[in-house]
C-alpha cells in the first residue's frame, strides 16, 4: 500500500513543526510548504519592521531538513496583498472592523494549499491550527473546536466548506499547546519555545493595527461625543479604531470625562457618519445590543438542519453567547439571550452547537 501524501503549511512556528512530526509518525509522506504572504517595505513607521518572514522561512526549512521532508517555498505576496490587505484597508476606511486572518484562510491559505497539493499529487493538506475535523455518520464533515480551549482557532475557520474539510488534517487539534511544546522540546526542535503569534497574523511584533493603518490611511481629526451627544474630545480618524476599544491618550483618543463618571473607564461605543465616535463609560446601556444582522452567512454543511440550540462568539476566544438564529426576507439575524457589549460591524460572528462550528458571517448592527 502506497503512503498517503500530505502537503503541510510549514510556517516556522512550533505548531506546524510538531504537525509535520506527527504526520510522519502516522505514516504519511509529508511535504512542507512555506507560504510567503505579507512583506511590506521596511520604514521607520512600519510596525512590521521587527518581524522577518525570512527568519520564519529559514526556521521552516530547518525543521524540514531535521525531519527529512521535502521543503517548498512559494511566493503569494501579490495575491495576499490584493485579496486580503487592500480589502482590509478599504473596510477600515468605511469604519468597519474586518478580520484579515479569516479572509486569508478563505481566499489564500486553504485554496492555495489545495491547488498546490493537486499539482504535487498530494492526497491531503494540513495546517497547525488548533481545531478538529470529524466525519459524521451522514458522510458530512464537522469542524470542531480544538481540545485546548485557550488556543482554539476554530473561530478563524468558519468559512471552510465540505470539500476543503474532506481534504484537510489538523494534527495538533487534539493536543494542548503545552503538550505541543513538550513534544517539540523532546525532539530538540529549535523553535520549541518560540512565542506564539498574537494579534493579526501578518503584522508581527507590533502594538496593534493603528500604526500599520497610519501608513495607509491619512489622519482625519474628528469629534468624540457622549451617548447624549455632548462633546467629550477628539480622535485621529475613525478608521484607526474599533467598537469596544478603551479610550486612551496614547492612541490619539483624548476626552474630558464628566465629573459624575471621572473615575470610570471609557470605551468606543459607536462609529457615526461624519467621522464621529461615541464614547461611553464601562457597562453603559448604550454599548449593549440585543440583535445583529449577519451578512453573507456561511454554513459549513448547507444541507443539514441548523440546530435550535446555538451559541455565538463575536471575537476569537471570546465568550460564548446564547441566542437564536432567524431568517426573514433572505436575511439572517441572531438575537442574544442577554444584551452583548462591543459589537463591531465587520467583525465575524461565529455560531456553535456545543463544540461544533455551524457557520458564521460578518456582523451588521
SS3 for 128-142, per residue?
CCCEEEEECCCCCEE
Give catalytic status of residue 48 as yes or no.
Answer: no
CA distance 29 to 336: 46
Between the alpha carbon of residue 329 and those of residues 39, 295, 326, the distances in Å are: 43, 13, 10
* Cα(261)–Cα(227) distance, integer angstroms: 13
Q: Which stretches of the chain are assigned E, i.e. beta strand? A: 5-9, 29-36, 70-75, 124-126, 131-135, 141-145, 168-169, 222-225, 231-235, 254-255, 266-272, 276-281, 288-299, 310-313, 321-328, 331-341, 348-353, 356-364
C-alpha cell read off for 87: 480589502
For 130, residues 6+ apart whose C-beta sits below 8 A from its C-beta are 15, 146, 147, 148, 151, 152, 153, 154, 170, 172, 173, 177
How far is the C-alpha of 134 from the C-alpha of 120, rounded, in Å? Answer: 25
CA-based radius of gyration for the chain: 22
DSSP-assigned letters across all residues of 59-105: HHHHHHHHHT-EEEEEE-HHHHIIIIIHHHHHHHHTT----HHHHHI
Instruction: Mark whether 104 is an active-site residue.
Output: yes
What's the grid cell of residue 75? 511566493
- Cα–Cα nearest to 363, from 352, 353, 351, 349: 349
Catalytic residue among 72, 201, 288, 299: 201
Cβ atoms of 342 and 333 within 8 Å: the answer is no
Residue from 10, 67, 84, 104 carrying the catalytic annotation? 104
Picking from 156, 187, 195, the residue whose alpha carbon sits closest to that of residue 173 is 156
Specify the pairing of strand 231-235 against strand 222-225: antiparallel
User: Where in the sequence numbering do the catalytic residues fall?
Assistant: 104, 201
Amino acid at each position: 500500500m502506497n503512503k498517503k501524501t500530505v502537503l503541510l503549511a510549514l510556517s516556522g512556528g512550533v505548531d506546524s513543526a510538531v504537525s509535520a512530526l506527527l504526520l510522519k509518525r502516522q505514516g504519511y509522506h509529508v511535504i512542507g510548504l512555506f507560504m510567503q504572504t505579507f512583506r511590506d517595505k521596511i520604514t521607520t513607521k512600519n510596525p512590521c519592521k521587527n518581524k522577518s518572514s525570512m527568519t520564519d522561512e529559514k526556521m521552516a526549512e530547518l525543521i524540514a531538513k531535521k525531519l527529512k521532508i521535502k521543503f517548498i517555498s512559494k511566493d503569494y505576496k501579490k495575491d495576499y496583498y490584493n485579496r486580503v490587505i487592500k480589502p482590509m484597508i478599504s473596510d477600515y476606511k468605511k469604519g468597519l472592523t474586518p478580520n484579515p486572518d479569516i479572509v486569508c484562510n478563505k481566499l489564500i491559505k486553504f485554496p492555495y494549499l489545495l491547488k498546490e497539493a493537486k499539482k504535487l499529487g498530494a492526497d491531503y493538506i494540513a495546517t497547525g491550527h488548533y481545531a478538529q475535523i470529524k466525519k459524521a455518520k451522514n458522510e458530512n464533515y464537522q469542524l470542531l473546536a480544538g481540545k485546548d480551549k485557550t488556543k482554539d482557532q476554530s473561530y478563524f475557520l468558519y468559512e471552510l466548506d465540505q470539500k476543503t474539510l474532506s481534504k484537510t488534517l489538523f494534527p495538533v487539534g487534539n493536543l494542548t499547546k503545552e503538550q505541543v511544546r513538550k513534544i517539540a522540546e523532546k525532539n530538540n526542535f529549535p523553535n520549541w519555545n518560540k512565542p506564539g503569534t498574537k494579534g493579526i497574523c501578518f503584522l508581527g511584533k507590533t502594538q496593534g493595527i493603528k500604526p500599520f493603518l497610519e501608513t495607509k490611511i491619512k489622519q482625519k481629526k474628528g469629534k468624540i461625543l457622549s451617548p447624549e451627544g455632548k462633546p467629550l474630545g477628539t480622535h485621529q480618524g475613525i478608521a484607526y479604531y474599533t467598537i469596544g476599544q478603551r479610550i486612551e491618550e496614547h492612541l490619539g483618543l483624548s476626552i474630558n470625562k464628566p465629573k459624575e463618571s471621572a473615575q470610570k473607564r471609557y470605551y468606543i461605543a459607536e462609529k457615526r457618519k461624519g467621522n464621529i465616535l461615541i464614547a461611553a463609560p464601562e457597562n453603559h446601556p448604550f454599548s449593549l445590543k440585543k440583535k445583529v444582522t449577519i451578512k453573507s452567512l456561511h454554513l459549513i454543511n448547507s444541507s443539514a438542519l441548523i440546530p435550535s440550540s446555538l451559541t455565538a462568539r463575536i471575537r476569537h476566544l471570546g465568550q460564548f453567547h446564547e441566542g437564536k438564529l432567524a431568517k426573514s426576507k433572505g436575511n439572517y439575524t441572531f438575537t442574544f439571550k442577554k444584551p452583548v457589549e462591543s459589537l463591531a460591524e465587520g467583525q465575524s460572528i461565529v455560531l456553535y452547537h456545543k463544540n461544533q462550528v455551524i457557520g458564521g458571517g460578518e456582523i451588521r448592527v
